[in-house]
Chain A
Amino acid sequence: MRDQGLIIGGLAVFLGLITFPITYNVMSGKTSEPPKLQLPAAEKQCVAPIEYMKASHMKLLFQWRDERVRQGVRTYTAYDGKTYTISFTGTCLSQCHTDKAEFCDRCHNYVGIRTPNCTDCHVDPKLIQRSGE
């Protein structure tokens, strides 16, 4: 073990370099900080419990899609008895999450999941307002 110092020192430098992205983010406090989402101003309560919406909002959207298009169901009764019109543009994007970029996209970008192509067809009302101004 003549080069003990060199080997251990080299390993330390190597480990330091390879874990740099992680340590850097931890030091700067970026990873521990979740994205700041723009929450609805008017509504306090979502159509389902927050935890369910965080984990399974796509399940609910798919359920809405199938009920509305294929079964002709137009209203959704939430878990607390409140009723909502089944409409992505008219309810989700108009009444609550009026800024898709500050809500949907921001979180999807943070977790690295591509935002689904809903707004390719379902017109974001905000875009119309902007173009109308």
Chain B
Amino acid sequence: MIISRKRFLQVTGASLLVAAGESRTRAFPGLAQGEAPALRAAELKAGRWAMVIDVAKCAREEGCTLCVDACHATHNVPAIGDRAREVKWIWKDSFHKVFPDQENEYLAAEIRETPVLAFCNHCDNPPCVRVCPTQATWKREDGIVMMDWHRCIGCRYCMAACPYGSRSFNWADPKPHVQKLTAAFPTRTKGVVEKCTFCEDRLGKGQLPACVEACPEKAMAFGDLLDPRSLVRELLGSKYSIRRRPELGTKPEIYYLV
């Protein structure tokens, strides 16, 4: 069969057009299907998430660990007895250990020994993020210092950089130490660093952080720092608050009412 130049060009042009159309519908499946926009559950959003903790309210019930238990149960945090290998997202420590810069040695003994909640400060200038070589930890636009456990290589630079000891390393498989495994949240694996994520997963479902919800005294307030009418701003505007080691320039975003 002999084909004329004109016919050849017509056929080639037409097939190219068809091919281009095909790849376009594949690249933009929505165009071809005429999809409806997805309905999303009410997601909690903020310009800058922050937490305010009322130390006196928190200390009211002696030995209370409801928030710690709720957090650790929600996130499959292992309970390892050995302090050198323990993993913790939120814990209680005495006032003078949480605030070593409050060096007043004549501070009332009851205040010095008051148990204070400590966890990741979700710093505005997080040193852990600066040192992470794989960007496995980074600061989201809403201020949450997030972790991608898929990407963590376990170098522990972030642990060395964090001045608050908020990060824990998994020296062994944590699963056998998780008291009641939940499928709603992944566990971690050996060789990975973990810490509090401000319940980023729950916020996406329209829920408050597990610790905030668990506190019967309402000692923890969670909200948007950029919204002047938010609960956190209201509390910060009405009472005197301190932060953990602000002199380091990390700009921690957990505020303590004392």
Contact = CB atoms under 8 A, between A and B. Distances in A.
Interface string B15-39: 0000000000000011001111011
* Residue of A72, A74, A125 with most chain B CB atoms under a 10 A cut-off: A72
Interface in A23-71: 65, 69-70
Nearest to B187: A121
Interface stretch (A5-13, A14-22, A78-86, A101-109): A78-86
Given A72-B204, A75-B38, A79-B33, A121 B149 contact: yes
Interface stretch (B89-97, B178-186, B227-235): B178-186
Contacts of A90: 183-184
Given A80-B33, A81-B33, A123 B186 contact: yes
A69 B150 contact: yes
Interface residues of A, number: 24
B101 interface: no
A83 B39 contact: yes
A115 interface: no
B148 interface: yes
Given A70-B148, A74-B40, A122 B29 contact: no
Nearest to A62: B150
A94 B149 CA distance: 22
B76 interface: yes
Binding site secondary structure of chain B: loop
A102 B234 CA distance: 55
Contacts of B43: 74
B141 to A, nearest CB: 9
A72 B140 contact: yes
Nearest to A82: B35
Nearest to B138: A70
Contacts of B140: 72
Contacts of B146: 69
7 contacts: A74-B204, A89-B186, A121-B187, A121-B189, A122-B186, A127-B181, A128-B183
Given A69-B146, A69-B148, A89-B184, 16 more contacts: A70-B148, A74-B204, A75-B40, A77-B29, A81-B34, A83-B39, A89-B183, A90-B184, A94-B183, A120-B189, A121-B149, A121-B186, A123-B76, A123-B183, A127-B181, A128-B183
Interface of B: 29-30, 33-36, 38-41, 43, 76, 138, 140, 146, 148-150, 181-184, 186-189, 200, 204
